[in-house]
Amino acid sequence: MKTLVTGGVRSGKSQHAEQLLDQHPQVTYVVPGLAPHDDAEWAARVAAHQARRPQHWTTLETPDLAMAVIEAPGAVLVDCLGTWVTRLLDDAGAWPDREQATAIVEERTDSLVDALETTDGEFVLVTNEVGLGIVPEHASGRLFRDLVGVVNQRVAAVCQEVHLVVVGRVLHL
């Protein structure tokens, strides 16, 4: 079973995703983004996520989501595709170049989708719902919104279920 969990910031999507796998004996929690080293508020969010996870879950920090889908043992929870896109663009220094950024994200998304299509198992992927807000003022915000929107559509197309989390409530799409 492959499930995409989407929603706005602080909607409860990560908690819902964790609950979907809480009965599995072996879960690999994949963290594809990097936390800023000098951001205390972000560090507190990461700590809250870590404290909520069962102790027997394994954490894997990697931007190589295709590899994680194929090789990680047990059920796999990826949290989140939005931080993954950010890391891909940060690592490549591609924010100022829309064409380069798009090519990088498309290539990595192709690999992820191929891995999801060809690998059996229990997968839950968390993402940000970016299509409900205003048009961002800055080019980097528009780039992020556009790329995450495409990633979300591509991943949703290979998932059996898509859950939208709004104010802690789950809608099955």
Active site residues: 49
The answer to whether 9 is a known ligand-binding residue is yes
The answer to whether 11 is a known ligand-binding residue is yes
The answer to whether 120 is a known ligand-binding residue is no
Residue 61 φ then ψ, to 5°: -100, 110
Residue 94 φ then ψ, to 5°: -95, 5
The answer to whether 8 is a known ligand-binding residue is yes
The answer to whether 79 is a known ligand-binding residue is yes
The answer to whether 45 is a known ligand-binding residue is no
Cα-trace Rg, the chain: 15
Residue 102 φ then ψ, to 5°: -65, -45
The answer to whether 14 is a known ligand-binding residue is yes
Residue 80 φ then ψ, to 5°: -145, 165
Q: Are 170 and 18 in contact (CB under 8 A)?
A: no
* Binding-site residue ranges: 7-14, 61, 79
* Binding-site residue ranges for GTP: 7-14, 61, 79
